[in-house]
Structure 1
Amino acid sequence: MYLQFLGTGAGVPSKSRNVSSIALKMLDERNEVWLFDCGEATQHTILHTSIRPRKITKIFVTHLHGDHIYGLPGLLSSRAFQGGEESLTIYGPVGIKDFVLTSLKISHCHLKYPLHFVELEQEGVAYQDDKIAVKYMTLQHGIQSYGYRVIEADYPGELQIEKLKQYNIPNGPIFGRIKKGEIVTLEDGTVINGKDFIGEQKKGREVVIFGDTRFVSSHISFCQHADVLVHESTFGKGEEKLAHNYFHATCQQAAEIAVKANVKQLYLTHISSRYLGQDVKKLQKDAQAIFANTKVVHDLLEIEVPFNHD
């Protein structure tokens, strides 16, 4: 599981940062890529990555400001010309369906794949199957804005082959039964319990991705013990009043959420074009003063979401 930041700027694109979009790459786990937001020119940035649009099966929209959705019509249209035949589902606030369908209708775009919409309410579960779930909650941004928490199911323990060698079990279906934890009787009459030969479960990974938001202490519980938290950082240290007035957060407020929620890693995005060079380093340093495992991200940065080995 990898996160790749396709756009890390705030409001408008700049020479160094495109507007908001993040790819959650789960190619090994489920051969899919999920997007979180799709700002203008997201499909251009994708050209500089290994992502194939046909692999994008879900798009989770945090809110309906243009810098988070203007890339949708272009990406959806191009996907139809790039081998995309599998269905795609867009999740987001009420209004996302009208925006997308109106854009496609007026531009006479006819997709070659099924397009579905799930318009969300205040909080709940946006998506769930036996491998993964996506929960969401309402943030504070003037318009409806969501934070998403991706929760991977725990991995079953591995079959401990070395411990089984003493029984000289031939290759075949019996190994499958043991791996399922069944009680098995061998040809010589030996009875073994499969559960005794299965290692501990491996905890699934959890990623929280916030849309634009003010600092709100109630967000802490939503982020508790996440492996990764992606949080906006539109303003810097000492700009708390400005951040509040514009429904955004500072780098240190994001760090406060991270430390109180006991997350493993904080990635700061939605960086204003006011911050260049040393200013960006200062954002990171100021946040690290509160939460050491903080990094200000840049476009195209790719990071692996690690398993928690605690």
Structure 2
Amino acid sequence: MPLRVTFVGTAGAIPTTERNPSSVFVAREGEGLLFDAGEGTQRQMMRFGTGFSVSQLFVTHLHGDHVLGIPGLLQTMDFNDREDALAIHTPHGTRRQLKSLVNALGNRPTFPVRINEVGDGDVAYRADEYEVRAFETDHDARSVGYALVEDERKGRFDRERAEDLGVPVGPKFSKLHEGEAVELEDGTVVDPEQVVGEPRPGRSIVYTGDTRPTAATIEATAEPDLLIHDATFADDRAERAADTAHSTARQAAEIANRASAKRLALMHISSRYAGQTDDHLAQAREVFAGDGEDVFVPEDGQALEIPYPDGGA
């Protein structure tokens, strides 16, 4: 089942000619999830072909570079004759501000927009096979991060073993794989444990938004396949990072190590660096335990497929 991440905008507070403000689009089996929406997000989505089939929008905090794209995005959806409801998740205590932003142009969207406040530990959204959880972050505004965590998958079905036990090809295979014991014609009972392996882990993505390094990010989920972490500054502005409630690339890598993340994306790059991110990468790679290719500074429009941990489907 495909799980695809598109980095719609990767800049810090001030956009550059190469980078738009923060936004990440996640597509899973035809469902679109959007994390933050800085100004111009709808144009970026057109540019990178994500489409506008977004069912859930997850806002980390209400600084402009993370939300000013919402009015334009809603208007574009309206012009496209959208009818489906859109759920917007936002930190506790920010519903009124977000509602004002949704109605900023004086015209309410013609489709339903539902605003849901979330806090540390809340399940913001539950789908059939995964959920998106909020976790605490440390920024100079009411803020949360989000972890998309898939459910465990069924263990592998050992067809050869089932046939050796006398299970006929057909519906009994499915019953065993679903966890039901089956009885054969001779009265023998075959239990699922005899032919089905251990449950297999799903995939997970953690997105921090803007934050200082926090233990809550480490605890958001075990061994995330992708950690998208604030890395606004390099070491040369570590004090500035602390003062403005952001992280350095090195700090992001330290969090990734402690979380046992498989890959690390360094996000929210300050315009001070004018596209020069070599120091960000070098400093993060000094710390991050993964392969050199497992830590990167995504460019706007870069897309990434997240494979299953066991290489399965």
The two structures have a TM-score, normalised by structure 1, of: 0.89
CA distance in 1 between partners of 2:271 and 2:306 (Å): 27
Q: Which runs of 5+ in 1 are unaligned?
A: none
Q: Which residue of 2 aligns with 1:64?
A: 62
Corresponding residue for residue 88 of structure 1: 86
Residue 7 (1) aligns with residue 6 (2): no
Give the distance between the partners of 1:219 and 1:206, measured in 2 at CA: 13
Corresponding residue number in structure 1 for 2:277 = 280
Deviation at 1:103, TM superposition (A): 4.1
2:24 to 8, 22, 42: 22
- Alignment of 1:290 onto 2:287: yes
Following superposition, the deviation at residue 108 of structure 1 comes to: 4.1
- The amino acid that maps onto 2:305 is E
Q: Which residue of 2 aligns with 1:52?
A: 51
Between stretches 208-217 and 89-98, larger displacement belongs to: 89-98
Report if aligned partners of 2:167, 2:173 keep a CA contact under 8 Å in 1: no
**Alignment deviations for residues 54-113 of structure 1 (CA, whole Å, 9 cap, x no partner):** x21111100000000011111122223335322211001246543444345452434343
Q: Whole-Å Cα distance in 2 between the matches of residues 103 and 260 of structure 1?
A: 37
Cα shift readout 1:263-294 (whole Å, capped 9, x = no counterpart)? 111110101122235x3122111111111431
Q: Does 1:187 align with 2:188?
A: no
**Cα separation, 2, equivalents of 1:125 and 1:180:** 26
Distance 1:224 1:187, change over 3 A: closer
Indicate how the Cα distance of structure 1 residues 79 and 259 shifts in structure 2: closer, same or farther if over 3 A, else same: same
Q: Residues of 1 paired with 2:174 and 2:7: CA distance?
A: 40
Single out whichever of 66-75 and 200-209 deviates more from structure 2. 200-209
Name the counterpart of 1:121: 119
Task: Measure how far apart 1:168 and its partner are.
Answer: 6.6
CA distance 1:282–1:128, change in 2 (3 Å): same
Amino acid aligned to 1:13: P
Distance change >3 Å, CA 229–CA 190, structure 1 → 2: same
User: Which letter maps to 1:71?
Assistant: G
Instruction: Using the TM superposition, give the Cα deviation of residue 20 of structure 1 relative to its aligned residue in structure 2, in angstroms.
Output: 0.3
Q: Among 155, 158, 168, which residue is 1:157 paired with?
A: 155
Q: Which structure 2 segments of 5+ residues have no match?
A: none
- TM-score of the two chains, using structure 2 as the length reference: 0.88
Which moved further from structure 2: 78-87 or 216-225?
A: 216-225
SS at match of 2:48: coil
Amino acid at match of 1:49: F
The number of aligned residues is 304
Structure 1 residues 223-232 or 187-196, which shifts more? 187-196
* Matched position secondary structure for 1:98: helix
Deviation at 1:130, TM superposition (A): 4.9
SS at match of 2:200: coil
Residue 73 (structure 2) pairs with residue 75 (structure 1): yes
Which whole-Å CA distance do the structure 2 matches of 1:18 and 1:25 have between them? 20
Q: What is the CA distance between 1:124 and its match in structure 2? A: 3.0
Change (3 A) 1:168 1:52: same
CA distance in 2, matches of 1:209, 1:109: 31
1:175-213 alpha-carbon deviations (Å, 9 max, x no partner): 332222322222344432233222332101121100111
